[in-house]
Amino acid sequence: MKLSSPMEIWKYLPGTNCGECGEKTCLAFASHLKERSTRLEECTPLFEDEKYADKGKQLAELLAPEIREIEIGVGARAAKIGGEDVMYRHELTFYNRTALAYDVWDTMKEGELRERVSRIANWRKFYVGEFLTLDAIAVRSVSGDAQTFAACVNAVAEETDLPLVLCSFDAKVLEEGLKVVAGKNPLLYAADKTNWKDVLELVKSYNVPVTLFSPDLDMLNSLALTFSSAGVEDIVLDPGVYPTGEGLADTFSRFVRIRRVGIEEGDKEVAYPLMSVPMTAWMIHGDALDASYWEAVLAAIGIIKYADIMILHSIEPHSLIAERTLVENVYTDPRRPVSVEPGLREVGTPTEHSPLFLTTNFALTYYTVESDLSSNKIDSYLIVVDSEGMGVEAAVAGEQLTAERIKETLESYGAEKRVKHKTLVIPGLAARLSGETEDVTGWTVLVGPRDSGRIPGWMDDNWPPK
């Protein structure tokens, strides 16, 4: 965005402190706009009252992110990509997470195709209170035949409402695919230095987002300038991913430099979302396992350094779990608190005979333990020690989790009144504290498993205590 402080934003707001946006003052609303934690549309007078209309329009332009935000797909699973404002996540936050698209191809047998689409569309993994899912499907034209491609796109669209990326360098093939899913806002891949005229015509008549491909950055810039001059603004840039050697080092450099121009130098010609294609790893590895690791390596580089959407091939669990978790980590808002409130929580409907587990107040640790207990339906108490936001292992090492602090916590939250057995289960990673904790608190201490995911099995052998 072009404005550098809440005061500068405030100048464009009505200044009436009307409270329509939910904030007490326009200045408070302005600071939320600066942090991108609210939307301009919340200021209804700005858009409904004639006299603010000009200011409203100007402000919307000034607040627009440095990197254009575009949407692919339609409906609940549509994906926004781009919209970034910073080079480093700690400067604000990265905004729209890297969309992960996994491929299918038009030479697949229909049964296999449908099965693969459904695996991609239905994949999920629990992580910190929610389920992670995948974002898109890339349909590749391997046959080169337009009708074959169209049939494949049709089968995919019947199977899922995930956004699609239609992949071919042949405009005729792309068009047949587009006809099938014209209303579903697919991303086209790709226009390059040879086919750009035909693809431009397609993009204009179907009004869909398009990827421009060229590892030569002058050419890529030229393509982007040409398309935007023709009125096309939903552009994604693919500077090419070379999977090895000097090519890979150059690939890294291209992504960083394009994003630098867009964000730091405010050059709008290339300020578009970037696409990375880690699946080029498969072109140099014969062994599927090796290829999946190298593909994940290329994906990690892209996720961390500025790819807004990527196309991948391996849908094996080890690939999906690692790639999607990394996206979540890099795109989590760093302003989110590290810790939860200490205290005594109830999981399910515990009684005075239920176990009492102890954990720390590092948010990730807490949510993991809480979900392991609740998803396995273990009625219990969970006492959360203030470890200054440290996880168990680190807190034991750094002495933020000590027998003394456990004692204070048990006392201040009245643990003794909740359970009759006066038995405390501490994490396996805090085993070192068990003796001292017994001495200091007078409670019986049981050492639980090193990972709370093993609590169900541990319960079978250890609860109720003998």
Partner 1 sequence: MEKKLTLADLARILEQYDVVELEDVTIKGEVELELGSSAGLALPPALAQALQSLMGAREMPGTLEAKRIEALLPATFKVAKAEWAGKIEEVTIGATSADGGTRERTVTIGGEKSLPFYNFDAKMPHPPVISVDCFDMPIPLARAVREYYEDVMEDPGEWAKKNVREFGADMVTIHLISTDPTIKDTPARAAAKTVEEVLQAVKVPIVIGGSGNPDKDPEVLEAAAEAAEGERCLIASANLNMDYERIAKAALKHGHVILSWTQLDINAQKTLNRYLFKLGVPREDIVIDPTTAALGYGLDYAFTNIERMRISALKGDTDLAFPISCGITNAWGAREAWMKDSPSKEDSDWGPAAYRGQMYEIITGLTLGLAGGDMFMMMHPNAASTVKKVTQTLFGAKVKEDKAKRVAIEDWVTWDAEVGASKK
Q: Which of residues 176-235 bind partner 1 (CB under 8 A)?
A: 189, 192-193, 196-197, 200, 213, 215, 217-226, 229-231
Query: Phi/psi at 193 (nearest 5 deg)?
Result: -70, -15
Supply the minimum distance, in Å, between the C-beta of residue 445 and partner 1.
Answer: 14
The CA-atom distances, in angstroms, between 106 and each of 114, 137, 223 are: 11, 13, 28
Compare residues 72 and 277 and give the one whose CB is closer to partner 1. 277
Q: Spell out the residues 6+ positions from residue 306 whose beta carbon is closer than 8 angstroms to its own.
A: 84, 255, 256, 258, 259, 274
Compare residues 31 and 222 and give the one whose CB is closer to partner 1. 222
327 sits near partner 1 (criterion: CB under 8 A): no
Residues in 45-64 that interact with partner 1 by CB under 8 A: 54
Using the rule CB under 8 A, which residue among 5, 37, 107, 147 binds partner 1?
Answer: 107
Compare residues 11 and 124 and give the one whose CB is closer to partner 1. 124
Instruction: Tell me how far apart the alpha carbons of residues 428 and 104 are, in angstroms, rounded to a whole number.
Output: 44
Helix (H/G/I), strand (E/B), else coil: 177: helix
One character per residue 250-289, x = contact with partner 1 (rule: CB under 8 A): --xx--xxx-xx--xx---xx------x-xx-xxx-xxxx
Closest of 86, 123, 85 to residue 101, by C-alpha: 123
Instruction: Tell me how far apart the alpha carbons of residues 275 and 220 are, in angstroms, rounded to a whole number.
Output: 12
Supply the minimum distance, in Å, between the C-beta of residue 96 and partner 1.
Answer: 16
Supply the minimum distance, in Å, between the C-beta of residue 287 and partner 1.
Answer: 4
439 sits near partner 1 (criterion: CB under 8 A): no
Q: Is the dihedral of CA 424, 427, 430, 432 positive or negative?
A: positive
Compare residues 54 and 439 and give the one whose CB is closer to partner 1. 54
One character per residue 18-47, x = contact with partner 1 (rule: CB under 8 A): ------------------------------
Contacts with partner 1 by CB under 8 A: the residue count is 119
Compare residues 7 and 397 and give the one whose CB is closer to partner 1. 397
Compare residues 265 and 352 and give the one whose CB is closer to partner 1. 265
Pairing of strands 125-127, 130-132: antiparallel
Instruction: Tell me how far apart the alpha carbons of residues 52 and 56 are, in angstroms, rounded to a whole number.
Output: 6
End-to-end, the C-alpha distance of the chain in Å comes to 64
Tokens for 340? 């939860």
Residues in 361-420 that interact with partner 1 by CB under 8 A: 362, 364, 371-372, 375-376, 390-391, 393-394, 397-399
